[in-house]
Chains A and B, each alone.
Chain A
Amino acid sequence: MTTTSLDAATLDLLTGSVRELFAALPAGGDLGPALDELGWAEVAAEDPATATTLLFTEQGRSLACTRALDAVLLAELDPVLPPARGTRAVLLPTPADGDEPSRHGSTLTGVLLAPPGTVDEIVVATTHLADGERSVQLDVHPAPVLAPLAHPVQGFDTAGWVTVSGARPSSPHERIPAGTAWTAAAAAAQRALAAEILGTCDAALRIAVRHASDRRQFGRPIAEFQAVRHRLAEGLVALEGARGVLRSAWEVTDDPGGAMWAAALAKLQAGRAQARIMRDVVQVHGAMGVSREGSVHRYVSRAAALDVLLGGRRLLAESMGTAMLLTAGIDPVARL
């Protein structure tokens, strides 16, 4: 998995096609058919690292809202689930729970990438504690059962997501032990989210570079001022550092424990990169950066929204730091 099997020319071509695909996608549109037309399944099978990173980077760049992340999770979960009756989505843990499904209890909370009505079934992961043993169970609910609990997100970002909260539906469709499928799914989703966050960062940084070169004050482009240049250079460093960690995370997917740790680290570093880059991109735009006259606010709020899914940077740092200080060894993650 360490080698990229796609050559540079193919990669360029694919990037172009995926970019066009996102540009043409209507709001709330379904990515699936367009990807099928591109023969995406084949590309993803040949080189999952490059394909996933490319797809989610472009999604981040374009600020598109799709259910691509559901597909990433389901690729790991479907094999342990009964055959789907129609289309499926996955209920993501509520941000306060990080990448851990909420405890089994009378209430149910989480986030959906699209309203329940757009799919037939919803997979709900739940953490069960019995005799000190923690296990994850997967409940498959018919989508309409969750509809009364769903509310459109009214937050920082208008990604079209839906929060779910309320009394847990009493009779699940099916209940299946997840085994290691949930942790594998969460790791895969964290790698995808890291790519998407870095896609928003890349786009925002490019916009800032262009703006700084065009915008003139004191008779010259503001990009000639060192304070501006150095902020943008630091943004590049943060972006490239986080990209490096993400590529490393893809190189250790064969070892489940290492893969989980590295995926969380990639998500953490992407989360930190977006915090830094978005702060500087806004500053370089002046008033334009904080108003709806410009476009950068959309990257800021999307990156923030992506950051809190499946482990925000603060939560991940807290849990990884605690693990290292208390028990775990210190994993070098990146190999030569």
Chain B
Amino acid sequence: MTGTVAPPAPGPTTLASDPEAYRAALRAYLGSEASLDRWRNRHHRTTEERITEHAVLMSGLHRGRWNRYGWPADAGGLGGDERHRAILYDELSAAGLPVPEPHLMLETLGPPLVRFAPELAAELLPRYLRGEEWWGQGFSEPEAGSDLAALRCRARRDGEDYVVSGQKLWTSHGATATRLMCLVRTGTAESRHRGLTMLLIDADTPGVSVRPIALASGHNELAEVFFDDARVPARRAVGEEGGGWTVAMYLLQFERAMYAWLSSTIALRRLRELREQVGARSTHDGDAVRFAEVYADIVALRARSAETVRRLASGATVGPEASIDKVLLATAETGLHDLARELLGGDFVLSAETHAAQWRADWWYSRASTIMGGSAEVQRTILADHVLSLPKETSA
């Protein structure tokens, strides 16, 4: 992919203002660039290997300018909006390519950085887009899972620095991330969501240590991070001191909406691959119905999240209704992977083939779709409270 990448025919300004022209140019490129085959049908033995390989794909996409659309020029992008990013994921998946893993967290962490810390975005986001580094999201802690506002990792102001001590847990990509966007407590222990601040902390800061955590599949998808009086410059605050919750809520719109769309494009690619893998063998009664139902759920997720992406692109704020997208996502993900498990039958459990190994690892990851980023129960409660406006819950 080096050197040979011809710049897209229409100029960058046209593509930035015309998502469909961007799509057409991107599709032509993905369909004709032979070097991309390196990333097709690839199974990686470890998470570390996968994300490193994906970062190479990302740097190629960056050289071809493709992954810069949808990000502001000040942050290393070429302009355009969320639709460009969504089109990139859609076209990559349609072309049988992976969405580069670093983009998953970029979708969550990039927008709040651009919005609340434009100088940091200008300084650091270009490297992310180039695939030179990727970051983790440090929200959850041992005592703060669903009840995020109970978090205790502390940051004490000391001159021009914050001094951070405490622990984060379940950090995706944490084992290899260069930086961590952490929600920390700067107020009193009882201040709940009012006393929180968002900090962008370098993983190599003295006092920060990271321990990889293996998912049940054996892959180090996660990590736990310890902070032992780590000094973080105050200019690394994303938003104001005490304004961390506002930043986190802004971030969650993207985590719920863009991530849902991105996942739907991948789910459709995986459904196609599953069909190719099982198509030849005889299927059982009811398989067709199950297949169609999973497909229908993936399309429902696509339809819904496409609308949400369009709303984000128009500058609208996406409120509690984004929890609908999140629940649809969990339904589609668990449904797809349960289907794969059923259709592959004994192979799912026993086969050493790479495609079976891939489905097994993905199946474990799919179980997280009802847990991470606010569990399915938490999402339903948000919908009951804020969309259906039911009276608040009481314990029996």
Contact B302 A324 (CB under 8 A): no
Contact A269 B296 (CB under 8 A): yes
Interface status of A234 (Cβ within 8 A of chain B): yes
Which residues of A are found within 8 Å of B19, using beta-carbon distances? 336
Contact B300 A244 (CB under 8 A): yes
Residues of B in contact with A, size category: 35 or more
Contact B377 A230 (CB under 8 A): yes
Interface status of B249 (Cβ within 8 A of chain A): no
Interface status of B290 (Cβ within 8 A of chain A): yes
Which residues of B are found within 8 Å of A209, using beta-carbon distances? 388, 390
Total A-B Cβ pairs within 8 A: 154
| Residues 317-350 (chain B) with a chain A CB within 8 angstroms | 324, 327-328, 331
A234 to B301, CA, bound (A): 14
Contact A334 B302 (CB under 8 A): yes
**Which of B268, B283, B310 is in CB contact (< 8 Å) with A330?**
B268
Interface status of B116 (Cβ within 8 A of chain A): no
A237 to B87, CA, bound (A): 25
Known contacts A218-B396, A229-B393, A330-B268; A240 and B304 CB within 8 A of each other: yes
Which chain B residue shows the least CB distance to A235?
Answer: B388
Contact A233 B296 (CB under 8 A): no
Write out, one digit per residue, whether chain B residues 280-321 have a CB within 8 A of any chain A CB (1) or not (0). 000100011111110111011111101101100000000000
Interface status of A318 (Cβ within 8 A of chain B): yes
Contact B289 A333 (CB under 8 A): no
Which stretch (B95-103, B154-162, B365-373, B379-387) binds chain A?
Answer: B379-387
Which residues of A are found within 8 Å of B295, using beta-carbon distances? 320-321, 324, 330
**Which of A212, A268, A269, A336 is in CB contact (< 8 Å) with B86?**
A336
Contact B275 A237 (CB under 8 A): no
**Which of B283, B290, B307, B387 is in CB contact (< 8 Å) with A244?**
B307
Interface centre among A226, A234, A237, A314 (most CB of B within 10 A): A237
Contact A236 B293 (CB under 8 A): no
A153 to B210, CA, bound (A): 69
A326 to B87, CA, bound (A): 29
Interface status of B32 (Cβ within 8 A of chain A): no
| Residues 208-253 (chain A) with a chain B CB within 8 angstroms | 209, 212-213, 218, 220-221, 223-226, 229-230, 232-234, 236-237, 240-242, 244-245, 247-248
Contact A333 B292 (CB under 8 A): no
Interface status of A193 (Cβ within 8 A of chain B): no
CB distance from A97 to the nearest CB of B (A): 18
**Which of A213, A218, A272 is in CB contact (< 8 Å) with B390?**
A213
Interface status of A5 (Cβ within 8 A of chain B): no
CB distance from B368 to the nearest CB of A (A): 19
Which chain B residue shows the least CB distance to A229?
Answer: B384
Which chain B residue shows the least CB distance to A232?
Answer: B388
Interface status of A335 (Cβ within 8 A of chain B): yes
A267 to B301, CA, bound (A): 16
Interface status of B142 (Cβ within 8 A of chain A): no
**Which of A224, A232, A241, A325 is in CB contact (< 8 Å) with B394?**
A224
A322 to B271, CA, bound (A): 14
Which chain B residue shows the least CB distance to A205?
Answer: B388
Which residues of B are found within 8 Å of A234, using beta-carbon distances? 327, 380
A245 to B390, CA, bound (A): 27
Which residues of B are found within 8 Å of A240, using beta-carbon distances? 304, 324, 328
Interface status of B83 (Cβ within 8 A of chain A): yes
Contact B306 A229 (CB under 8 A): no
Contact A332 B299 (CB under 8 A): yes
Interface status of B207 (Cβ within 8 A of chain A): no
Interface status of B40 (Cβ within 8 A of chain A): no
CB distance from B160 to the nearest CB of A (A): 44
Interface status of A317 (Cβ within 8 A of chain B): yes
Interface status of A316 (Cβ within 8 A of chain B): yes
Contact A332 B268 (CB under 8 A): yes
**Which of B272, B307, B328, B381 is in CB contact (< 8 Å) with A229?**
B381
Contact A241 B328 (CB under 8 A): yes
Contact A233 B292 (CB under 8 A): no
Contact B306 A334 (CB under 8 A): yes
Write out, one digit per residue, whether chain A residues 141-176 have a CB within 8 A of any chain B CB (1) or not (0). 000000000000000000000000000000000000
CB distance from A177 to the nearest CB of B (A): 31
Contact A248 B291 (CB under 8 A): no
A226 to B395, CA, bound (A): 8
Known contacts A224-B391, A237-B328, A325-B283; A269 and B291 CB within 8 A of each other: no
CB distance from B342 to the nearest CB of A (A): 13
CB distance from A293 to the nearest CB of B (A): 23
Besides A330-B271, A334-B302, 7 more A-B contacts (Cβ < 8 Å) are A229-B390, A247-B303, A319-B288, A325-B275, A325-B283, A332-B90, A336-B19
* 15 sample A-B contacts, Cβ–Cβ < 8 Å, listed by A number: A209-B390, A225-B394, A226-B377, A229-B380, A230-B377, A232-B390, A237-B327, A241-B301, A268-B292, A269-B299, A322-B288, A324-B291, A324-B295, A325-B275, A333-B299
Q: Give residues in B with beta carbon < 8 Å to A.
A: 19, 83, 86-87, 90, 94, 268, 271-272, 275, 278-279, 283, 287-293, 295-297, 299-304, 306-307, 309-310, 324, 327-328, 331, 377, 379-381, 383-384, 387-388, 390-394, 396
Q: Give residues in A with beta carbon < 8 Å to B.
A: 209, 212-213, 218, 220-221, 223-226, 229-230, 232-234, 236-237, 240-242, 244-245, 247-248, 265, 268-269, 272, 314, 316-322, 324-326, 329-330, 332-336
